[in-house]
Structure 1
Amino acid sequence: MKVIGLTGGIASGKSTVSALLKEYGFAVVDADVASRTAVAKGTDGLKEVEKVFGEEAVINGEMNRPYVGQLIFNDIEKREALNRIIHPRVRDIMEYEKQQALKSGRHVIMDIPLLFENHLEYTVDEVWVVYVDEESQLERLMKRNNLSYDAAAARIHSQLSIEEKKKRAHIIIDNSGNLSELEQQVKKVVEQFFERNQKK
């Protein structure tokens, strides 16, 4: 069984590709979901957040994301403190889910937005990158999140460039077209993957 790292730039359509791959029977382990689980209601992770960031960091038994987000946005020390709480828990959650899927005989998609930035490409067998050019990325992000050009550009430039991710990919899924074109491309990539990995 293979472990595939799925990544891409912000607003590249990675979540759509992830959903399509699930339909082909891949087990999807999602880093964003794991990071929410790590500080969910009643968890040790949430208690740790409250201890480090104060009572205001928890509202109605859940993490007060806007408040914590504001605290860490321009403060690298606070951001690192949050990462120290969340990252080890996320790794444990994802590792457990991955092992469960492999035991059940399924190929696994590790859906990790910051795969390259966090040097996790060495933990997977192949890297698949969902690609759109930066101009399309900007347009989609501005529209999706109702952001100004500068705010969208700042978010995009806080990640490794999409062109660099494309260079490092084993497989590129180009999402510059419409949904139908994306579905065809994913179908082709999956078929080729299964051809390469037929059980001997």
Structure 2
Amino acid sequence: MAIRKIALTGGIATGKTYVATRLRDAGVPIVDADVLAREVVALGTPALTAVRQRFGPDVIRRDGTMDRIRVGQIIFKDKRARQDLEAIIHPAVQKAIEKYFATLPKKTPFAVADIPLLYETGRENQFSDVIVVACPRAMQLSRVMERNQLAKDDAERRLAAQLPIEKKIDKATFVVKTDGTFDETNAQVDKLIALFTDGKSR
């Protein structure tokens, strides 16, 4: 039987990183799209060449690596530029995710790809299931303000840049709620691990 490919997503400050860590600590094979996004634009990669061609030499440091701060400044102000960058990076990341899945032992019941912008990039159909990590928006806003030391207006803008968590919940196969205790969150994650290990809910 083929490995069950599951996507893990959520919104900023919903607790996705905590859930990913819980899965990893339980021995679940998990690959991080954010890590891959850095790797696919490493020195000498086709994606880095494409970034240089699109954005010019100013986004490349003296050592030949991508200047993330400079690129971030450009795409924050220019929606088209952000879309162009995503068109370069996201296909390369998806290819790397598929490569990761292909390296796993055939008897692996399931594996997880941690993809923060899964729905925003339209990749949900490439997975058999989607787990959305969620909390109420008011709690999400409070966490962003505290964690990132942001004023409310700035935190609101961060949230507005992503699909609302309510819409992600509507699209999800499974939801892990993180508005309770750590033990309550852990219990939800452990239940999903058992479910996927047994091969149910296909």
Query: TM-score w.r.t. structure 2 length?
Result: 0.88
Superposed CA offset, 1:21-40 (max 9, x none): 12222211221111111112
Aligned residue number for residue 39 of structure 1 = 41
| Structural mapping, 1:57-96, within 5 Å | 57-59=59-61, 60-96=63-99
Task: Work out the CA distance in 2 between the residues paired with 1:29 and 1:190.
Answer: 16
Q: Is the 8 A contact 1:126 1:170 kept in 2?
A: yes
- Structure 2 residue 140 is the aligned partner of structure 1 residue 140: no
- Structure 2 residue 21 is the aligned partner of structure 1 residue 14: no
Q: Is the 8 A contact 2:109 2:196 kept in 1?
A: no
| Structural mapping, 1:79-118, within 5 Å | 79-101=82-104, 103=106, 105-118=108-121
Moved over 3 A (4+): 195-198
Task: Work out the CA distance in 2 between the residues paired with 1:118 and 1:49.
Answer: 18
Report deviation, 1:105: 2.4
SS in 2 for 1:63: coil
Superposed CA offset, 1:105-159 (max 9, x none): 2511121112222222211111111111101111111111121111111111221
RMSD: 2.0
Report deviation, 1:102: 5.7
Task: Work out the CA distance in 1 between the residues paired with 2:14 and 2:83.
Answer: 26
1:150 partner amino acid: D
- Structure 2 residue 189 is the aligned partner of structure 1 residue 186: yes
Aligned residue number for residue 153 of structure 2 = 150
Aligned length: 198
Q: List gaps (5 residues or longer) in structure 1.
A: none
Report deviation, 1:170: 1.8
SS in 1 for 2:21: helix
Q: Tell me the percent identity.
A: 38
Q: List gaps (5 residues or longer) in structure 2.
A: none
Task: Work out the CA distance in 2 between the residues paired with 1:15 and 1:101.
Answer: 22
Task: Work out the CA distance in 2 between the residues paired with 1:161 and 1:76.
Answer: 18
Q: Which residue, out of 151, 175, 178, partners 1:175?
A: 178
Task: Work out the CA distance in 1 between the residues paired with 2:197 and 2:106.
Answer: 18
Comparing 79-88 with 126-135, greater Cα deviation is found at 79-88
Task: Work out the CA distance in 1 between the residues paired with 2:195 and 2:90.
Answer: 33
Task: Work out the CA distance in 2 between the residues paired with 1:6 and 1:85.
Answer: 22
SS in 2 for 1:130: strand
SS in 2 for 1:26: coil
Going from structure 1 to structure 2, the CA distance change for 1:84 and 1:116 (only over 3 Å counts) comes to closer
